[in-house]
Amino acid sequence: MQRLVIDTNILVSALIQKSFPYFIINSLPANEKAVWCISDAVLEEYTDVLKRGKFAKYPGFTSNADSLLAELEEIAARYTPEIRLTIIKDHSDNKFLELALTCNAHFLITGNTKDFTMTTFGQTKIITPKEYWENHR
List the domain range (segments joined by +) for residue 48.
2-135
This prediction has a pTM of: 0.94
- Determine what percent of the chain is predicted with pLDDT higher than 90: 85
Mean predicted confidence (pLDDT) in 103-122: 94
* Per-residue model confidence (pLDDT) at position 33: 92
Domain count, the chain: 1
Torsion of CA 88, 51, 27, 123, to 10 degrees: 20
- pLDDT of 88 > 90? The answer is no
Confidence bin at 91 (pLDDT 50/70/90)? confident
Indicate the SS3 state at residue 20.
helix
Q: What is the mean pLDDT of residues 34-50?
A: 97
CATH of the domain at 35: 3.40.50.1010
**For residue 90, what pLDDT is reported?**
80
Residue 117 per-residue DSSP state: -
Collect contacts of 120-129 with beta carbons under 8 A, ≥24 apart: 121/87, 121/97, 124/5, 124/100, 128/20, 129/10, 129/13, 129/19, 129/20, 129/21, 129/23, 129/24
Count of Cβ atoms closer than 10 Å to residue 65 Cβ = 23
pLDDT of residue 29 exceeding 90, the answer is no
